[in-house]
Amino acid sequence: MNIRTITKISLIAAIYAALTIGLAPLSYNFVQLRISEALTVLPFIMPESILGLFIGCAIANIYSGLGIYDIVFGSLATLISAFLTAKMPTKWLAPLPPVAVNAVIIGYMWSYFAQMPFYLTAGYVAIGQIGACYLLGLPLLHLFTKSQILKKIKEF
Amino acid sequence: MLKDITIGQYIPGTSLIHRLDPRCKILSVIIYMIALFVVNDTVGYFSVLLFSLLIILLTGISPVYYFKGIKALLIIIFLTVGLHFFMTPGTVVAEIGPLAITQEGIKQGIFMGTRLILLVTITSVLTLTTTPIALTDGIELLLNPFKRIGVPAHELAMMMTIALRFIPTLVEETDKIMKAQMARGADFESGNIIQRAKALIPLLVPLFLGAFRRADDLAMAMEARCYRGGENRTRMKQLKYSSLDIIAMVVIVVFLGFSIYTRVVL
C-alpha cells in the first residue's frame, strides 16, 4: 500500500467517525439515523473508501453502546456492504447493499442480544439506513459524479 | 448543531485496571462477554453481576460515567424488558387488559435487562481506562499473528491512528463550514427530513475536498521522513506483559470456567 493511499483511507475514516461522533445522539438511538452512513455510497466511485469506511465505523463503534460486538459485527457489516456497493452496476443500486447488509447483520445481532423478533429489529435498522443512504447518499453520489469534484479529489 | 465532543472517554488514573496491558484488557473483555452469554440461571447472572461490580470498583472511576453509557441505551433496555415481561408464556402473575405478565416473563426480562446493561458497562470499563492510542496499539499487536493470511495489521493500525488524530480537526472544520454556509444563507435546522438531508450536501463536499488536501499534505510529510511501513519500525512506548496481566488473565479464565460450571452442572 503506498503512503498516499494510506493517508486517503485514513482521512475518509476520520470523516466517517467525525460525522458519527459529532452528530452522536442521532446516530446511536435504536432507529439509527447515522448521517455518516450516507458515505457508504462512496465505494461506487472511490475504491479507497471501502477500507476507510470500515476503519471509521470501527472507531465510531468503539464509543457506541454495544461494545466489542458492535465493533466487530457493525464494522464487518460496513466492510461487506462497501465491497458490494463497489460492484453495483448502476448508481441507483449503490445505496442498496448498506441498507440490506446492515438490516440483516445488525438486526440479527440485536434480536439475538435482546431475544427479540428479528423482523422488528431488522425493520428498525432498515428504516434508518434507507433514510441515510437513499435520502442523502444518492443525491451526494449524483453530485459527485456530475461535477468536477471527483476529478479534483482524484488529482490529490 | 455540533456540540463539544471528547474523543474517547478515557479518564486518567492509576488503578489496577488502568495499569493492565491493552491486549490483556481486550482479550479479557472478549472472554467476559462469552461468559455473559454462557450463564442462563439466577446463580450465573448473580455471579456475573458481582464480578462486574468488583471490576467497576477496581477502576476507581465514578459510577456517573457508567450511567452515561447506560443512559444512551435506556429505550432499548426498557423495550427489551417490557417485551419479555408480556410476551413470555407461563404462570400468569398479573393481567392488564389483554396483556398478561408471567413469572417466567419477569425472570427472563430481568435477565435480558441485566445482560444488556452489563454489555455496555464492561465495554465502558475498557474505553474509560484505556487511551484510544493504547487501544489501537493493542489491536495491532493482537492482529499480528494474522499477518500470514494477509491481514495488513500495521497498515490498519497506522490508518486508525491517523484517523483518530484527525477526528477533532475534522469536527472543527465541519463546524466552520457549517457557519460559512449559514452566512451564505444555508439552512440546516428547518424543513422536513428530505430538505434537511439535502441541506447537508453543501457541507459534505467542502469537507471532502479539505480532507483530501490534508491527506495529500500528510502523505508528502511522511514521504519526506522516509516512512516505509511496518518493517523494522520501533515504538516510542513498548507494550510489555507484567505479572499483573498474567493474574488478570488467570482470573478471567477461572471466571469463564465458573460460568460454564453454573450452566452445565447447576
B41-84 pLDDT, tens digit each: 899 999 999 999 999 999 998 888 888 778 767 777 888 888 88
Reply yes or no on whether the pLDDT at A32 is more than 80.
Answer: no
DSSP 8-state symbol, B8: S
Confirm whether the ipTM is greater than 0.90. no
* Segment holding B101, helix H or strand E: strand B99-102
> Which residue spans within chain A are E strands per DSSP?
none
Reply yes or no on whether the pLDDT at B186 is more than 60.
Answer: yes
The C-alpha cell 417485551 sits at: B83
Question: Residue B7: its pLDDT value, please?
Answer: 55
Chain B residue whose CA is closest to A26 = B72
The mean pLDDT of B215-221, rounded to a whole number, is 93
Banded pLDDT at A23 (limits 50, 70, 90): low
Cross-chain Cβ contact A66/B5 below 8 Å: no
Question: Residue B193: its pLDDT value, please?
Answer: 66
Out of A9, A63, A69, the one facing B127 most closely (by C-beta) is A63
Average model confidence (pLDDT) across chain B: 85
Banded pLDDT at B248 (limits 50, 70, 90): very high
Q: How many CB pairs under 8 A join A and B?
A: 177
Cross-chain Cβ contact A12/B211 below 8 Å: yes
Residues 6+ apart with CB under 8 A from B167: A14, A17, A18, A21, A59, B7
Nearest to A153 by CA among A80, A76, A51, A47: A47
Q: Which residue has the higher pLDDT, B45 or B86?
A: B45
Residues 179-198 of B with CB under 8 A from A: 193-194, 197-198
d(CA B262, CA B258): 6
B7 contacts on A by Cβ (under 8 Å) = 21
Reply yes or no on whether the pLDDT at B4 is more than 60.
Answer: no
Residue B40 to residues A32, B37, B110, B120, B260: CA-CA distances in angstroms? 30, 8, 12, 19, 10
Reply yes or no on whether the pLDDT at A13 is more than 90.
Answer: yes
Residues 69-108 of A with CB under 8 A from B: 69
B194 contacts on A by Cβ (under 8 Å) = 135
- Over the stretch B106-164, which tens digit does the pLDDT of each residue have? 888 899 889 888 888 888 888 889 888 888 889 888 988 888 888 888 888 899 989 98
- Mutation target to probe the A interface, by most A beta carbons within 10 A, among B30, B189, B208 is B208
B130 contacts on A by Cβ (under 8 Å) = none
Strands B99-102 and B92-96: antiparallel
Out of A6, A69, A135, the one facing B193 most closely (by C-beta) is A135
Chain B residue whose CA is closest to A124 = B76
Cross-chain Cβ contact A10/B215 below 8 Å: yes
List, in sequence order, every residue forming a beta bridge with B99; answer none if it has no partner.
Answer: B96
A24 contacts on B by Cβ (under 8 Å) = 5
| 0.90 exceeded by pTM | no
The mean pLDDT of A28-51, rounded to a whole number, is 78
Q: What percent of chain B has pLDDT over 90?
A: 27
B160 contacts on A by Cβ (under 8 Å) = 10, 13, 55, 58-59
Question: Residue B99: its pLDDT value, please?
Answer: 78
Q: Is A78 helix (H, G, I), strand (E, B) or coil?
A: helix
Q: Which residue has the higher pLDDT, B85 or B71?
A: B85
The mean pLDDT of A96-124, rounded to a whole number, is 85
List, in sequence order, every residue forming a beta bridge with B94; answer none if it has no partner.
Answer: B101
Reply yes or no on whether the pLDDT at A28 is more than 60.
Answer: no
Nearest to B127 by CA among B5, B248, B27, B9: B9
